[in-house]
Amino acid sequence: VIKMSDLDLAGKRVLIRQDLNVPLDDAGHVTSDNRITASLPTIKMALAQGAKVMVMSHLGRPTEGLYDEQYSLAPVAAYMGNLLGRNIPLVKDWVEGVDADADLILLENVRFNKGEGKNEDSLAKQMAALCDVYVMDAFGTAHRAQASTHGVAKFAPIACAGPLLAAELEALGKVMDNPARPMVAIVGGSKVSSKLTVLESLSTVCDQLIVGGGISNTFVAARGFNVGTSLYEKDLIPNAQALMARLDIPAAIDVRTAAEFSPTALATIKPVDQVTDDEQIMDLGPETVAKLAEIIKGAKTILWNGPCGVFEFDNFAEGTRAIAEAIAQSDAYSVLGGGDVIAAVQKFGMEDRFSYISTGGGAFLEFVEGKTLPAVAILEERAKS
């Protein structure tokens, strides 16, 4: 693909698609800013070259064709403006054209425009008409073929990959395509069903697969142990067994359980075969953690997606924290992805201790599954023609 860093942007109208879809609290405040901070270097680079910069993004999933304040990018414009130390005007109606003199503007939520989700050519052409250069930098939305991520790249005079997108593809490629070995993949989160393709794809690449969170409960059940009232998926026990037969998946030795799913519930540590009917597994136990930490210590490449326990509750955060600490202390090239893992390492104040933190959630998983990301594919096509 053509990279933004290879182009001369002086005096050019540059339209940058970023993923500024960040979580907001009830008062509309940004609660996690890593997508914003990861996007800033691209904007700064374009401005430094003397480009006229237009940034576009979606936020949430509003009803198309309507303006809805709840999904406005206003809080993001304010937050970004603070970080850049300047005012960033947010332009509400922009498809028909924008102020040609402005050097940096944020365009209101792309999903307020009819045709965005269906990737309609008419909208994509209007977007393309705004610019001389279209920069796709929204790795987190690269799995969506929408007007602002895909269609616009067909019609813009030049379509290229931004520095963030390029960095993401490089980091993930380093892990998935020819990793330094041993490679250890850690997959947590609540459900096997939502990660089955990820687990299967990783099983062909990694040397050891560590499972955590609700996912590991299904593996505990697959070994024939009682999981009480734990979150687990009975239907997927055969899939878990097949994975265990094919691959080295370290078995849990002990677990932390609770009588109820509550932030104040107390943790009981017990051997994995002693869980009773009225309790639920909420985290890895210390012996399991020690065994996993030893494996992680020897890794040369680590991929981590999904927390290892209910880290949001302090009494059940230890497993996830210890895994994070083991990765941070290892010499491995480590890539983390997915909103929950990022939230966890932010909670632990550890976000600077890994090789790469991805801004992708769904896009990260699709890349790991080996799927083609449509927004990247169109850039490749444009580069060929």
DSSP 148: I
Six-digit token string for 91: 């332009």
- 12 tagged catalytic: no
Residue 148 CA to residue 125 CA, distance in Å, equals: 10
Q: Does 109 bind ligand 3PG (CB under 6 A)?
A: no
- What is the CB neighbour count within 10 angstroms for residue 134? 30
Q: Does 19 bind ligand 3PG (CB under 6 A)?
A: yes
Q: Scan for tokens 């403006």, then name that residue.
A: 81
| Residue 25 DSSP SS3 | coil
Residue 13 marked as a ligand binder: no
Please identify, using beta-carbon distances, which residue of 163 and 338 lies nearer to ligand 3PG. Answer: 338
Q: Does 305 bind ligand 3PG (CB under 6 A)?
A: no
CA angle 44, 46, 47 (to 5 degrees): 65
Stretch that binds ligand 3PG, among 94-102, 139-147, 240-248, 318-326 (CB under 6 A): 139-147
Closest CA to 228 of 258, 250, 189, 266: 258
- 191 tagged catalytic: yes
Contact 113, 88 (CB under 8 A): no
Residue 228 CA to residue 286 CA, distance in Å, equals: 20
| CA separation, residue 271 to residues 150, 255, 268, 281 (Å) | 51, 6, 10, 11
Please identify, using beta-carbon distances, which residue of 34 and 229 lies nearer to ligand 3PG. Answer: 34
Stretch that binds ligand 3PG, among 102-110, 137-145, 174-182, 183-191 (CB under 6 A): 137-145
Residue 321 marked as a ligand binder: no
DSSP 339: H
Given the residues 189, 309, 338, 339, the one annotated as active site:
339
Given the residues 35, 52, 291, 321, the one annotated as active site:
35
Binding mask 308-347 for ligand 3PG (x = CB under 6 A): ----------------------------------------
Residue 62 CA to residue 113 CA, distance in Å, equals: 10
- 17 tagged catalytic: no
Residue 172 marked as a ligand binder: no
Q: How far is the CB of 206 from ligand 3PG (least distance, A)?
A: 23
Residue 245: which residues within 8 A CB-CB, separation 6 or more?
none
Contacts to ligand 3PG from residues 351-370, by CB under 6 A: 361-362
Residue 58 marked as a ligand binder: yes
Residue 223 marked as a ligand binder: no
Q: How far is the CB of 323 from ligand 3PG (least distance, A)?
A: 23
- 362 tagged catalytic: yes
- What is the CB neighbour count within 10 angstroms for residue 104? 20
- Find the helix or strand (DSSP H, E) in which 372 lies: none
Contacts to ligand 3PG from residues 141-170, by CB under 6 A: 141, 144
Closest CA to 186 of 215, 223, 154, 144: 215
Q: Does 119 bind ligand 3PG (CB under 6 A)?
A: no
Instruction: Tell me which of 1, 12, 15, 21 binds ligand 3PG, using CB under 6 A.
Output: 21
Residues that bind ligand 3PG (CB under 6 A): 19, 21, 61, 140-141, 144, 361-362
Which residues carry out catalysis?
35, 191, 339, 362
